């Protein structure tokens, strides 16, 4: 346990051990401009006073809004059993199962999670998760770079701009060439992607459905990438994957996803779950760890960590990633959620989401001045153009208790009037009707 000094004498003893005469000398290596200033903390409060202050602060948050927001993070129903089971002490307090003899329950849960993700994506292997969908995409790119020994990555602009920003940040100090091909009115331009792939390309990266909600089949694109010696990476949406053609069936080498839609609440941005799956030939490039099922000398089934490519597991500089933790608790919630719904439940949920989105699109497109951004097939999310800036329409409807969607101008120039609208199984026909009427009134205003 670390030593924490509490008295002046203990501070002097600590400084003597370190070999300095004062606290100022201890921090002298830090430039004055970078040192912490006065904290200006208020006087201490009692427990009751703190709770009351927090209640007052939280009451300022807008609550009770009916939301049609999506953009990669979705408000799905979470069965009560997910909270009840994942909150059990043996799961909730566990960290990393370094000792398999004491962690069989946690290891089996992760093994089942990996199995479910491979079945959902159609891929051969899955790891025990990384931080979120964006970090999973970055790790997938680095897998391709290591495997192909190439430095060029071709990316569709219709891939989540949040993930692309993360990718830029993660790779800013690496000698990589990131080539982004423009979207076509919200549709992934596969011809441009194929034209950008050459003998120097490590990977081609797409999303399905893309950020605008459009669904595509990338089989032909991935075949062209393979012919050029490049790997194919697809970011998918786990809920809709229950009814869409799998990444594996389209020829993807690596499939990644944000797992928030599987039993994880929105929670103001996290913690979330990065799903990573790959073809078997890439299994030694995948970051994190994989849980395997084996048998002991008496033939009893057991679960262990295997292919541990983390830097903590003696790999050091040869490690595939510096992922120092995993999202095992979030992965546990995901596998509980998937098991509770089952194959039929997952497919029905996906079908409901798609059904409600198409119903919503039909209602909105019937409003004078509102048009679909494109005519491409879509899942539970779509984009419309309005006769006024989308941000203005959003502000007007929030005042009435509805968030009609996400203004695409936040990430895309030239789409100031475009609104991204998402529906889930929680979206009701009544909510769609009310939102459509409110939007119609806001446009007339």
Task: Give me the domains of the chain, ranges plus CATH numbers.
Answer: 66-75+343-444 (3.90.1150.10), 80-337 (3.40.640.10)
pLDDT at 422: 98
Q: Which segments of the chain have a pLDDT < 70?
A: 1-6, 308-317, 322-326
Per-residue model confidence (pLDDT) at position 354: 98
Q: How many CB atoms lie within 10 A of CB 84?
A: 10
- DSSP annotation of 378: B
Summarize pLDDT for 33-70 with one digit per residue, the tens. 888 778 888 889 999 999 999 999 988 887 789 999 99
177 CB-near residues (< 8 Å, 6+ apart): 151, 152, 153, 200
The burial of 199, by beta-carbon neighbours within 10 Å (0-12 exposed, 13-18 middle, 19 or more buried), is given as exposed
Contact 208/255 with Cβ under 8 angstroms?
Answer: no
Q: CA–CA separation, 182 vs 193, rounded Å?
A: 9
Report d(CA 250, CA 114) in Å as an integer: 20
For position 1, what pLDDT does the model report?
46
What is the pLDDT at residue 9?
Answer: 87
């Amino acid at each position: 346990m670390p030593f924490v000094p509490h008295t002046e004498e203990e501070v002097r003893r600590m400084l003597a051990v370190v070999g300095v005469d004062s606290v100022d000398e201890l921090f002298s290596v830090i430039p004055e401009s970078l040192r912490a200033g006065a904290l200006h903390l208020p006087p201490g409060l009692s427990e009751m006073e703190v709770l009351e202050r927090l209640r007052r602060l939280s009451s300022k948050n807008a609550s009770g809004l009916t939301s049609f927001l999506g953009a990669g993070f979705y408000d799905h129903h979470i069965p009560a059993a997910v909270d009840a089971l994942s909150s059990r002490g043996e799961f909730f307090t566990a960290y990393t199962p370094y000792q398999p003899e004491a962690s069989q329950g946690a290891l089996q849960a992760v093994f089942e999670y990996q199995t479910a993700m491979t079945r959902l994506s159609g891929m051969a292997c899955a790891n025990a998760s990384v931080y979120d969908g964006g970090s999973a995409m970055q790790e997938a790119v680095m897998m391709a770079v290591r495997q192909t020994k190439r430095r060029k990555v071709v990316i569709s602009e219709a891939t989540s701009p949040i993930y692309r920003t993360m990718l830029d940040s993660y790779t800013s100090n690496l000698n990589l060439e990131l080539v982004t091909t423009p979207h076509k009115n919200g549709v992934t331009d596969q011809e441009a992607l194929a034209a950008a792939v050459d003998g120097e390309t490590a990977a081609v990266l797409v999303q399905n459905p893309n950020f605008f909600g459009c669904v595509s089949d990338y089989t032909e694109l991935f075949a062209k990438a393979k012919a050029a010696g490049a790997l194919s990476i697809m970011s998918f949406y786990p809920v809709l994957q229950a009814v869409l053609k799998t990444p594996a069936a389209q020829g993807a080498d690596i499939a990644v996803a944000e797992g928030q839609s599987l039993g994880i609440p929105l929670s103001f941005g996290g913690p979330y779950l990065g799903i990573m799956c790959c073809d078997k030939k890439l299994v030694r490039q995948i970051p994190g760890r994989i849980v395997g099922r084996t048998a002991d000398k008496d033939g009893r089934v057991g679960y262990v960590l295997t292919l541990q490519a983390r830097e903590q597991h003696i790999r050091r500089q040869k490690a595939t990633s510096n992922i120092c933790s995993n999202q095992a608790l979030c992965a546990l919630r995901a596998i509980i959620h998937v098991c509770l719904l089952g194959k039929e439940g997952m497919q029905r949920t996906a079908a409901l989401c798609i059904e409600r989105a198409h119903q919503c699109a039909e209602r909105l497109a019937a409003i004078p001045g509102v048009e679909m951004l494109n005519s491409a097939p879509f899942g539970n999310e779509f984009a419309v153009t309005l006769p006024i800036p989308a941000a203005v329409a959003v502000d007007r409807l929030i005042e009435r208790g509805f968030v009609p969607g996400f203004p695409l101008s936040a990430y895309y120039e030239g789409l100031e009037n475009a609104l991204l609208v998402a529906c889930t199984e929680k979206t009701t026909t009544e909510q769609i009707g009310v939102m459509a009427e409110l939007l119609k009134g806001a446009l007339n205003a």
